[in-house]
Amino acid sequence: MLNIFKRKPKLPDYSFLGVDLHSHLLPGIDDGARSLGHSLALIEMLQNLGFHTLITTPHVMAEMFVNNPEIIQHKHSEVLAALQEKEADVKLHAAAEYLMDEGFGDKIESGKLLTLPGKRVLVEMSFFAAPPMLEDFLFRLQTKGYHPVLAHPERYLFLKGDMKKYHELKDRGCEFQLNLLSLGGYYGKPTRESGYQLLEAGMIDFLATDLHHEGQAERLQEMRWDRHLAKVLGKLEFKNGELEASP
Ligand SMILES: [Fe+2]
């Protein structure tokens, strides 16, 4: 912590990414921002980290967070109006992070998924086991013209080190989005190791914050002093810039 005041960061900020495609910034509809004021504070923190475009992705689950496009779009307009009022220089779009649970099949069939640009759909799964319908979901998404982006593949520790399985997911059409915080050890050492393994294998398409609260933004600020991280990221390219267009 102390050396923050002594030396320059190895990574000036995250503006080399520009677009953050995974976060929980809409107030009161998931485990992210709790109020409009909290949303605005988190958005400002992401701007200070160097992001100019935010595609925020509230959880959509069958049970815990029963969000739908109407709820998400309503909250999005509320935050947009507040941003406009304070003349904030940031673009905020809204999509969703879909849990591949028992309700996901019906959502695919509805054809009304909220997407990232390029008809990409951010999907996640349980941290304990892959859904029995995983392959079916990936296939059905693509027959409907959607392109799955798997959120934080490094966090599914039941897959850790199983590069064959990761390659199979990529062959089935998944793009991978890694959480920056994983590389700082925020979720523990095994997740950090898995993150670096996927990064160094060139399998990561996008980097994102998955921001829920201020503590995580502070951690992202501190990670700029991580020499190893700066070196690894400096050698790689990511596709975040492809997501600048409106979803
Ligand atoms: Fe998330």
Instruction: Give 12 Cα–ligand 1 centroid separation in angstroms.
Output: 25
Confirm if 176 and 204 have CB atoms less than 8 A apart: yes
Instruction: Give 21 Cα–ligand 1 centroid separation in angstroms.
Output: 10
CATH class of the domain defined by 12-235: alpha beta
Instruction: Give 180 Cα–ligand 1 centroid separation in angstroms.
Output: 12
- The mean pLDDT value of the chain amounts to 95
Rounded-to-integer distance, Cα 205 and Cα 119, Å: 15
Domain spans of the chain? 12-235
Nearby residues for ligand 1 (ion, Cβ within 5 Å): 97, 210
Q: What is the pTM of this model?
A: 0.95
Rounded-to-integer distance, Cα 16 and Cα 4, Å: 21
pLDDT tens-digit profile of 23-63?
A: 999 999 999 999 999 999 999 999 999 999 999 999 999 98
pLDDT tens-digit profile of 192-230?
A: 999 999 999 999 999 999 999 999 999 999 999 999 999
Element at 60 (helix H, strand E): strand 59-60
Q: Are strands 147-151 and 206-208 parallel, antiparallel or unpaired?
A: unpaired
